[in-house]
């Protein structure tokens, strides 16, 4: 089976999915905008062929270039897990005539207005929202909805260019920074705990599902430098604290008509217990959350996703064995890392439960914490007991420090 995979080397976890495709027997035709010599060795080993386009910025030109370079090949699938290329992949599928998400379904995942219309048509609660293409449109939407509000790009991914706004003065400051964004969604700000609902689907069936809790909510984590953001994957999806969110997620998958692949959804649980849909992407999550899910089940979702999109089956383990906590660390100070404190004590206290330590080491430069979720590295722990898992995460957040 010949599978075209758009952007096989970026984001940085995508080479693992490309390897998954090769593992399930696919011949992978990678398409990227960098020279083949710039690919990672893992990606090169997994690819059968590599095609280069001039740029992803011009979708029509990339579309024509890819079709021209594929001429005469018997392509059976077109896949991507990088959100900006979801529409391009759908266009290629329709032109080539292969299974997978259509342009209309892809638009529902990329355009937040279309997305919410689909979800709301299924009777699912979403934040009140208004589309806006001008500053005056944003001001009118804010007046209609009432503060606090969230402003985010219609076709955005993650929390990039996403802002909570509490008053008119803050709105003006944010509007001045969004001149590069052509259209935004102005939304009711939902006050509550924020979670993910992640799935792998095969032939319109959910074959793997996962819930993670953000601690704190991402918008807080991206604004306060000293915080060590955490993500907690729940072992028990029937836990009353998240069970309604799991049901919500399943209903959303049905409403979106998703067929095969990865989805990453975000939802809220308000103090009243009401659950509210946030948004959903037809992609795997960032922040190495696929690894977190693998640790929760001792499974391989890179190969599992590949099996689902290529063969419509899923043979990987899916029993949830552990709660998993991923803790992101940010260095203190600026410049070059000089020391890392607390790792030895951590291993003495909880070493048997630590499954990954990947921190910036002394002599390396500190990363820009505003530009990357992973910041200066991460630590992952797991335990069958949720309270123990959270306690270990809190200890690491408070006691492991990276210094510059």
- Distance between CA atoms of residues 336 and 85, nearest Å: 35
Q: Cβ(126)–Cβ(188) under 8 Å?
A: no
Range of the domain at 244: 190-320
164 with 221, same domain: the answer is no
Give me the pLDDT at residue 377, please.
Answer: 97
Chain centroid, CA 329 distance in Å: 19
213 with 301, same domain: the answer is yes
Residue 213's CATH number: 3.30.470.20
134 with 238, same domain: the answer is no
pLDDT in tens, 216-235: 998 888 889 999 999 999 99
- Distance between CA atoms of residues 113 and 157, nearest Å: 14
Give the C-alpha distances (Å, rounded to integers) separating 308 from 24, 249, 294.
10, 19, 16
Kindly tell me if the per-residue pLDDT of 268 is higher than 70.
yes
Residue 163's CATH number: 3.30.1490.20
255 with 313, same domain: the answer is yes
338 with 300, same domain: the answer is no
pLDDT in tens, 170-225: 999 999 989 899 999 999 999 999 999 999 999 999 999 999 999 999 888 888 99
Q: Pick from 170, 188, 206: which residue ends a domain? A: 188
Q: Please report whether residue 110 resides in a domain.
A: no
60 Cβ partners below 8 Å, 6+ apart? none
Query: Treating both helix axes as pointing N-terminal to C-terminal, what angle do 289-297 and 301-311 enclose, rounded to 10 degrees?
Result: 100
Q: Please report whether residue 106 resides in a domain.
A: no
pLDDT band at 143 (very low <50, low <70, confident <90, very high): very high
Q: Looking at residues 314-333, what average pLDDT do you find?
A: 97
Give me the pLDDT at residue 222, please.
Answer: 85
337 with 292, same domain: the answer is no
209 with 308, same domain: the answer is yes
Give me the pLDDT at residue 311, please.
Answer: 97
Please tell me the pTM assigned to this model.
Answer: 0.92
Kindly tell me if the per-residue pLDDT of 384 is higher than 80.
yes
Q: What is the mean pLDDT of the chain?
A: 96
pLDDT band at 161 (very low <50, low <70, confident <90, very high): confident
282 with 235, same domain: the answer is yes
369 Cβ partners below 8 Å, 6+ apart? 225, 330, 375, 376
Q: Pick from 259, 291, 320: which residue ends a domain? A: 320
Instruction: Provide the percentage of residues in the chain whose pLDDT is more than 90.
Output: 92
pLDDT in tens, 67-86: 999 998 999 999 999 999 99
Query: Treating both helix axes as pointing N-terminal to C-terminal, what angle do 103-110 and 243-256 enclose, rounded to 10 degrees?
Result: 140
311 with 330, same domain: the answer is no
- Distance between CA atoms of residues 256 and 105, nearest Å: 7
Q: DSSP letters of 288-310?
A: THHHHHHHHHT--HHHHHHHHHH
pLDDT in tens, 108-141: 999 989 999 999 999 999 999 999 999 999 999 9
Q: Please report whether residue 352 resides in a domain.
A: yes
Q: Please report whether residue 93 resides in a domain.
A: yes
Structural domain count, the chain: 4
Q: Please report whether residue 164 resides in a domain.
A: yes
Kindly tell me if the per-residue pLDDT of 49 is higher than 80.
yes
305 with 204, same domain: the answer is yes
pLDDT band at 59 (very low <50, low <70, confident <90, very high): very high
Give me the pLDDT at residue 157, please.
Answer: 64
198 with 183, same domain: the answer is no
333 with 313, same domain: the answer is no
pLDDT band at 162 (very low <50, low <70, confident <90, very high): confident
Q: Please report whether residue 16 resides in a domain.
A: yes
């Amino acid at each position: 089976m010949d599978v075209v995979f758009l952007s096989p080397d970026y984001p940085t976890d995508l080479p693992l999915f490309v390897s998954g495709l090769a593992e399930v027997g696919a011949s992978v035709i990678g398409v990227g905008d960098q020279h083949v010599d710039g690919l990672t060795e893992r990606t090169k080993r997994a690819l059968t062929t590599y095609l280069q386009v001039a740029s992803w910025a011009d979708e029509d030109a990339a579309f024509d270039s890819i079709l021209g370079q594929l001429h005469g090949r018997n392509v059976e699938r077109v896949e991507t897990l990088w959100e900006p290329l979801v529409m391009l992949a759908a266009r290629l599928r329709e032109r080539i005539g292969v299974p997978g998400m259509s342009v209309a379904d892809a638009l529902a995942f990329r355009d937040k207005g279309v997305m919410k219309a689909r979800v709301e048509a299924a009777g699912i609660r979403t934040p009140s929202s208004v589309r806006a293409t001008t500053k005056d449109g944003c001001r009118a939407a804010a007046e209609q909805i009432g503060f606090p509000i969230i402003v985010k790009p219609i076709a955005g991914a993650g929390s990039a260019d996403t802002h909570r706004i509490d008053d008119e003065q803050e709105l003006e400051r944010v509007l001045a920074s969004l001149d590069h964004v052509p259209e935004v969604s102005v939304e009711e700000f939902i006050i509550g705990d924020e979670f993910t609902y992640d799935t792998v689907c095969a032939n319109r069936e959910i074959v793997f599902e996962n819930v993670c809790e953000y601690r704190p909510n991402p918008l807080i984590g991206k604004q306060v430098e000293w915080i060590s953001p955490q993500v907690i994957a729940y072992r028990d999806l029937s836990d009353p604290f998240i069970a309604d969110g799991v049901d919500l997620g399943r209903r959303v998958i049905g409403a979106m008509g998703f067929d095969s692949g990865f989805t990453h959804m975000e939802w809220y649980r308000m103090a009243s217990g009401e659950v509210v849909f946030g948004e959903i992407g037809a992609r795997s999550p960032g922040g190495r959350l696929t690894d977190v899910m693998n640790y929760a089940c001792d499974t391989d979702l890179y190969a599992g996703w590949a099996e689902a999109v290529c063969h419509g089956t899923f043979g990987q383990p899916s029993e949830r064995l552990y709660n998993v906590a991923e803790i992101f660390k940010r260095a203190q100070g600026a410049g070059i890392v000089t020391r890392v404190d607390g790792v030895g004590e951590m291993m003495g206290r909880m070493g048997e439960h630590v499954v990954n330590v990947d921190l910036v080491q002394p002599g390396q430069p500190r990363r820009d914490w505003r530009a990357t979720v992973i910041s200066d590295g991460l630590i992952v722990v797991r335990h069958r007991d949720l309270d123990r898992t959270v306690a270990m995460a809190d200890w690491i957040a408070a006691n492991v420090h990276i210094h510059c």
